């Protein structure tokens, strides 16, 4: 488990959690329609962790979701901020570059501002680590099931811009659509095909780029080109020729 302290104290002021009344929107994920989507995402998270560096993970999710198994820090959204392994607000009391994967499961779907938490994710994610963000797909027919719940679905362009603004500007983003299209059936997976863009969930993932140090410039070795003879070598050959002539005489 990484050290929780990173030299900064949590802000005692208002945290990033939902204002009074916003938390009710996230309860939709505890209903049958929402829980089926969360089950599909659990499998997607397991695949992300399998391809991540062997470091602890950090998971941020809604109350109805279950964090992945293994070694990590699980924090759930609350009205006050986050509850779980620690109770905190932003900035997170977690060490910088200590996590091989950061998983965000619908923590912004009640309309919360994503930039403060995404900026902290960029800080705590290790170089080469994986960021995975699951959100609702605004183009899915499934949106009628969360209508009037208070949830807000935003498209992929919005999330890509938010990631660029949060410290992931140089990291290419992959998209995947997950879950059911309309029926609240469990077990439907997802993909990246044309038919998948109507699924209920949208997952964005990226790898935090490793910035390698610039190696020192290699010294170029000077080589004599073909046909050119160094001056010292020519003098030595001339002296050897004169000795042979003297010996012959």
How confident is the model over 124-165, as pLDDT tens digits? 999 999 999 999 999 999 999 999 999 999 999 999 999 999
Rounded to whole angstroms, the maximal C-alpha distance in the chain is 115
Q: What is the pLDDT of residues 192-226, one digit of tens each?
A: 667 789 999 999 999 998 765 555 555 444 444 44
Which among 60, 24, 20, 59 has a CA at the least distance from the CA of 146?
24
For 22-207, which CATH superfamily applies? Vaccinia Virus protein VP39 (3.40.50.150)
* Structural contact between residues 18 and 77, judged by C-beta atoms closer than 8 angstroms: yes
Query: How far apart are the C-alpha atoms of 86 and 205, rounded to whole Å?
Result: 25
At 46, list the tokens: 């397991």
pLDDT of amino acid 62 = 96
Averaged confidence pLDDT in the chain: 82
């Amino acid at each position: 488990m990484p050290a929780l302290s990173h030299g900064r104290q949590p802000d005692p002021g208002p945290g990033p959690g939902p204002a009074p009344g916003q938390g009710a929107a996230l309860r939709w994920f505890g209903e049958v329609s929402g829980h089926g989507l969360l089950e599909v995402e659990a499998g997607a998270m397991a695949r992300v962790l399998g391809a991540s560096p062997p470091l602890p993970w950090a998971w941020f999710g809604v109350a109805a979701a279950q964090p992945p198994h293994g070694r990590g820090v699980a924090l759930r959204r609350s009205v006050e901020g986050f509850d779980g392994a620690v109770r905190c607000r932003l900035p997170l009391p977690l060490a910088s570059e200590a996590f091989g994967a950061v998983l965000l499961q619908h923590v912004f779907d009640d309309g919360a501002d994503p930039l403060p938490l995404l900026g902290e994710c960029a800080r705590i994610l290790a170089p080469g680590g994986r960021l995975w963000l699951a959100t609702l797909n605004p183009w899915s027919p499934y949106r009628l099931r969360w209508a009037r719940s208070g949830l807000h679905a935003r498209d992929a362009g919005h999330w890509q811009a938010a990631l660029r603004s949060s410290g992931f500007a140089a990291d290419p983003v992959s998209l995947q659509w997950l879950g059911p299209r309309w029926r609240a059936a469990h077990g439907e997976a997802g993909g990246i095909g044309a038919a998948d863009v109507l699924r209920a969930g949208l997952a964005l993932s990226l790898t935090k780029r490793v910035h390698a140090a610039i190696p020192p410039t290699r010294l170029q070795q000077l080589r004599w080109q073909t046909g050119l003879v160094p001056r010292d070598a020519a003098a030595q050959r001339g002296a050897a020729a004169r000795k042979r002539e003297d010996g012959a005489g």
